[in-house]
Amino acid sequence: MSAGPCSTPMSFSFSTKAAARFATPGNAHTMLDAMHPRGPAPTSQAATACLGMLCGLLLTPGMQTALGDEPAPPSASFSRDVAPLLVEHCLACHNPRKAEGGYRVDTFESLGTAGDSGLLPLVGEDGEPAELIRRITSHDESERMPAETAALGDAAVAVLTQWVAAGASFDAPDPSMPLQQVIPPPQHPAAPAAYPAALPVTAVAFSPDGTQLYTSGYHEVLVWNLDGSLAHRIGNVGERVYALAVSPDGQTLAVGCGQPGREGEVRFVSLTGGNADEVRLVPVRLDDVVLDLAYRPDGAAVAAACADKTVRLIDAASGELMLASQSHAEQVTAVSFSGDGGRLASASRDGSAKVFDASSGELLVSYQGHTGPVRGVALLADGSQAFSTGDDKQLHRWNVGDAKKVADVGLGGAGFRLALSPDAIWLPAADGRLRRISLADNAVKEFQAPADWLLCTAVSPDGSRIATGSHDGTIQLWNTADAASVTRWQAQPNEPVALRAAAQKSAEIGSPSANSW
């Protein structure tokens, strides 16, 4: 079946500073971007500056001496020292989607490949310096790079100079690995002891026993008792948390996080044993955020919806990449498995929802019935029908077999990430209402929340409670049977609560081997 006009061709690979910036009320697009942000699009001037930064990174030993730089530290490492500089200063303008001057730095392999000029970036010819070096050492302001900004610092130049002088060697397993996979997983900054204001709650999940609630925080996951008291805090995660998923065996919390337009990760956090609340594995690292996660019902795999337009299937034990889909033309916002794990659905800002065979990666159907970005998707247990919702303010129910819509439910605002219980679909929306839609007859029950946009929801393990997170930072807990409000509180730590996770050095955090790409 055709992938549809809003999609790129189906492609699968099988393979071995500051506070968070959120949208403000009053602007529909920015409000939606608080949930599914778009990475910043560099201007042509900024792109030129970024190219210049890269052009200014590499100096020969002779030029280093001539400029009076201090000696470079010994044994510069590509993975530890060089790759982070490339990600920091160059990757935004020299990546697979946007390669200024035909030049890319997203892998070690591409770093050494000539751009449009045909000149090798790291190799000089006939006694002349490489083009990158020539540009940074030029005294002509119209040529010197980085353009219209300060030159790269001496320390960074020294590191890169030493690396080039030593032969520009590669010290990671696979030169085609993206830089984010080459760099050792970072130790993220500690969260603030108290928040000056509540942040939008973009992810929520119940603990395995249903007695606590995990919610998104700033460089942390907040763990709440159901009376609204803060139990503890899980640190060492990305700046903004967009997705939380608990493994079926209750042993692991998967965290989708990152900084929009810059970096994204999936981190596996242990929930039990002596290493409880510690990050045990970082299986996915990207140049944009991870927006949703779903465990396969058997717990053996995790699906990730990524802002780099991919859907990724990860081995839950090893972190190895099992499948990677590039079928969507825009950010992937949500993922969902069928009850038997045989089918995987995805939603995207490109206006489509798709269903794949979760084993082979084959595209089964592409649903094009929405008139705007799709932000939530769910499959019936038997995989025969799907639900999707988004900016068109409707819940669509459609057949997976033929992509025909069989029912819809009107909403008062954009719909967000869906939750599924045995007898209902739960839909949080921008009109401040939570809706329960019966799977049997599509009957709708509304739960009125005295809060801002509802962005996320989760059903307790026993199905008796449902929690919602809102844009104004409110967490609400309800009884599923009678829609009664149980309790409500602000996701705003206002006093220090101990981080139970021990500080870890980045080298101690597990990462998948090279054949994950």
Question: Would you tell me how many other CB atoms lie within 10 Å of the CB of residue 140?
Answer: 7
**What's the gap between Cα 178 and its chain centre?**
15
Q: How far apart are CA 339 and CA 187, in angstroms?
A: 36
- Per-residue pLDDT band at 36 (split at 50, 70, 90): low
Phi, psi of 410 (to 5 degrees): -75, 145
Say what percent of the chain tops pLDDT 70: 78
Question: Would you tell me how many other CB atoms lie within 10 Å of the CB of residue 29?
Answer: 10
Phi, psi of 179 (to 5 degrees): -55, -35
69, amino acid identity: D
By the 10 Å C-beta count (0-12 exposed, 13-18 middle, 19+ buried), 504 is classed as middle
What is the residue-averaged pLDDT of the chain? 81
Residues 6+ apart with CB under 8 A from 286: 178, 180, 258, 263, 264, 265, 306, 307, 308
Q: Quick check: 430 pLDDT over 50?
A: yes
Give tens-digit pLDDT for 134-160. 776 767 877 776 767 777 777 887 787
**pLDDT value for 399:** 98
Q: Quick check: 72 pLDDT over 90?
A: no
As a whole number, mean pLDDT of residues 467-492 equals 94
Please name the residue that has the structure tokens 């659905």.
345
Domain ranges across the chain: 36-184, 204-504
- Element spanning 108, H or E: helix 108-111
- Element spanning 163, H or E: helix 154-165
- Per-residue pLDDT band at 16 (split at 50, 70, 90): very low
**pLDDT value for 62:** 41
* More reliable by pLDDT, 100 or 362: 362
Q: Quick check: 359 pLDDT over 60?
A: yes
* More reliable by pLDDT, 45 or 281: 281
As a whole number, mean pLDDT of residues 354-382 equals 97
Edge-to-edge strand ranges of the sheet holding 263-270:
240-246, 252-259, 263-270, 279-286
Q: How far apart are CA 502 and CA 444, in angstroms?
A: 46
Residues 6+ apart with CB under 8 A from 16: 320, 514, 515, 516
Please name the residue that has the structure tokens 């200014």.
56
Residues 6+ apart with CB under 8 A from 378: 336, 345, 386, 387, 388, 418, 419, 420, 425
- Per-residue pLDDT band at 41 (split at 50, 70, 90): very low
Per-residue DSSP letters for 182-242?
A: HSPPP-PPPPPSS-SSPPP---EEE-TTSSEEEEE-BSSEEEEETTS-EEEEE-S--SEEE
pTM above threshold 0.75: no
Please name the residue that has the structure tokens 């019935």.
369
**pLDDT value for 100:** 81
Strand 374-379 to strand 385-390: parallel, antiparallel, or no bridges (unpaired)? Answer: antiparallel
Q: Quick check: 15 pLDDT over 70?
A: no
Q: Quick check: 336 pLDDT over 80?
A: yes
Highest mean pLDDT among 41-45, 52-56, 380-384: 380-384
Give tens-digit pLDDT for 169-211. 899 889 998 887 788 878 899 999 999 999 999 999 999 999 9
Of 116, 135, 155, the closest CA to residue 49 belongs to 135
As a whole number, mean pLDDT of residues 379-383 equals 97
- Per-residue pLDDT band at 18 (split at 50, 70, 90): very low
**pLDDT value for 192:** 94
Query: Helix (H, G, I), strand (E, B), or coil: what is residue 46?
Result: helix
- Please work out, in degrees rounded to the nearest 5, the angle formed at the alpha carbon of residue 260 by the alpha carbons of 316 and 374: 75
Per-residue DSSP letters for 381-396?
A: TTSSEEEEEETTSEEE
* More reliable by pLDDT, 133 or 386: 386
Beta bridge partners of 280: none
- Per-residue pLDDT band at 236 (split at 50, 70, 90): very high
Q: How far apart are CA 194 and CA 184, in angstroms?
A: 29
Highest mean pLDDT among 79-93, 231-245, 275-289, 472-486: 231-245
* More reliable by pLDDT, 221 or 74: 221
**pLDDT value for 337:** 98
Question: Would you tell me how many other CB atoms lie within 10 Å of the CB of residue 233?
Answer: 22
**pLDDT value for 23:** 36
**pLDDT value for 42:** 41
**pLDDT value for 503:** 35
Pick the CATH number of 204-504 from 2.160.10.10, 2.130.10.10, 3.30.420.10, 2.40.128.20: 2.130.10.10
Say what percent of the chain tops pLDDT 90: 55
Please name the residue that has the structure tokens 């602007």.
27
- Please work out, in degrees rounded to the nearest 5, the angle formed at the alpha carbon of residue 195 by the alpha carbons of 192 and 197: 155
As a whole number, mean pLDDT of residues 52-56 equals 41
Q: Quick check: 67 pLDDT over 80?
A: no
**Six token digits for residue 19:** 């506070």
C-beta separation of 344 from 337 below 8 A: yes
Q: How far apart are CA 260 and CA 267, in angstroms?
A: 16
As a whole number, mean pLDDT of residues 26-52 equals 43
C-beta separation of 131 from 147 below 8 A: no
Q: Quick check: 396 pLDDT over 90?
A: yes
**pLDDT value for 316:** 94
Q: How far apart are CA 270 and CA 275, in angstroms?
A: 6
